[in-house]
């Protein structure tokens, strides 16, 4: 079953050994709900940044900024507001080119490219779009934030930290196995050896 944000929070609360279930995030009458409001988004972003999750990957063409370029790069392209992590930048929609040069500076891509396609990890609008193993890894991450104030038991916190590592590793492994297309990103020397890309 796919989990929404409330489901993930209640999963995390249960992992802490608590039964203080919530009906909404930010309910002032529920300490657990207020703690979830404080930590939920951080937990989501922390886990999403740790892997190229297939269910959270998006590709868009970026619009160039009107900001003056830097001394070392000719163009600046602002990142989307929902960008959690940059995976790759392309000069063409057909995919990776080893000769593309770019770097991330703040919330912008600095590059000499005139056209930029971005492959990135996207913050989900609906958490039910995430894989169940990924949602579970987020719940464990959230539980480690909640446990110190929700149950105040060092032993539970230590158990959760160990379980968090295992849950994240399992989610990464399954997601990697489901990535049928493996993009081999050759370097310039490899291309010269194979006499391609010239």
Q: Would you list the domain boundaries of the chain?
A: 5-51+130-177, 55-124
Identify the pLDDT of residue 34: 96
Token reading at 111: 């590059």
Q: How many residues does the chain have?
A: 198
Q: Are 151 and 24 in contact (CB under 8 A)?
A: no
Sign of CA dihedral 181, 58, 45, 90: positive
pLDDT digits (tens, 9 = 90+) for 117-149: 999 999 999 999 999 999 999 999 999 999 998
Residues 6+ apart with CB under 8 A from 138: 8, 43, 44, 47, 130
The H or E element containing residue 57 is: strand 57-61
pTM above 0.75, yes or no: yes
């Amino acid at each position: 079953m796919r989990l929404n944000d409330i489901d993930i929070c209640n999963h995390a609360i249960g992992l802490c050994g608590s039964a203080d279930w919530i009906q909404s995030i930010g309910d002032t009458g529920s300490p657990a709900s207020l703690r979830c409001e404080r930590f939920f988004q951080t937990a989501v972003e922390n886990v999403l940044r740790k892997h190229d999750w297939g269910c959270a990957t998006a590709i868009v063409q970026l619009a160039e900024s009107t900001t003056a370029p830097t001394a070392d790069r000719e163009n600046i392209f602002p990142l989307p507001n929902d960008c959690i992590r940059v995976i790759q930048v392309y000069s063409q929609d057909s995919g990776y080119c080893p000769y593309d040069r770019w770097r991330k500076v703040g919330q912008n891509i600095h590059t000499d490219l005139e056209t930029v396609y971005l492959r990135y990890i996207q913050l989900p609008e609906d958490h039910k779009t995430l894989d169940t193993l990924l949602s579970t890894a987020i719940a464990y991450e959230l539980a480690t934030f909640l446990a110190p104030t929700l149950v105040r038991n060092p032993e539970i916190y230590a158990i959760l930290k160990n379980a968090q590592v295992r849950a994240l590793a399992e989610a990464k492994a399954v997601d990697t196995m489901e990535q049928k297309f493996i993009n081999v990103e050759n370097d310039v020397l490899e291309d010269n050896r194979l006499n391609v890309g010239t």
